Amino acid sequence: MAQTLFITGTDTGVGKTVLTALLTRFLRAHGIHATALKPICSGGRNDARIIFAAMNGTLTLDEINPWPFRAAIAPALAAQLEKKSVRLAHVVAHIRATRKKSDVLLVEGAGGLLSPLGEDFDSRDLIVALRATPIIVAANKLGAANHLLLTLAALPKNLRARAKVVLMSPPKPDAATATNEKLLAQFFLVENIFTLPWLGKNFEPATVLKNPRVRKALAALVAI
């Protein structure tokens, strides 16, 4: 069975899609057949298109993102506005079918861990159903430690032990940017905490992956 990595976050806009695209390109560059999905999204399909580009057409946009919704609100509410239904069993079935064709499957959630995705389920429910390794993304700034510890506490104990944390540095660091990793290490395994530098305003995976610091962090994150 393919390894399944589930990229979730402390909030929306923290860098989940950036990390998903980077990891996909990085793994594929190392000869690993990695595929990525963003099964559910709301507020447009820009995130799914970024993932589509990272795979050079391996999957269609509709395979990557079968449940897109227009309103920029929680997907469960956006689906209701369009009078559509998203059920956990259907999403899990789609992900498992894609996993059979992959060495590593990356699945990006929408919003934070507990943001409602469909009819009575969220990213936590998907992680549990898929037995995936959670990767929690947070903006590396003041408040990140609290948000990350709350997110970790919301995971079942067995998944919390396997979880990994990625701190995405902002364009303008604050006083917490340089200290968050050390602070988190007091509560969480330091070997499962990773920090990425600011990746630029106009994100381009091929360019970013030329940065040795980025490559080193990604290699450690996926253990290759």
| Active-site residue list | 38
Q: How many other β-carbons are positioned within 10 Å of the β-carbon of residue 164?
A: 21
What is the token pair recorded at 205?
A: 């995976």
Tokens of 69: 């919704």
CA pair distance 179, 173, nearest whole angstrom: 11
Q: Half-sphere exposure of residue 149, counting CA atoms within 13 Å on the CB side?
A: 12
CB 168 within 8 Å of CB 138 = yes
From 24, 59, 55, select the one nearest 135 (Cα to Cα): 24
Cα 70 from chain centre: 21
165 touches 193 (CB < 8 A): yes
How many CB atoms are closer than 10 A to CB 59? Answer: 19
13 burial (CB, 10 Å; 0-12 / 13-18 / 19+) is: exposed
Classify 192 in phi/psi space as left (phi over 0), alpha (psi -120 to 50) or beta. Answer: alpha
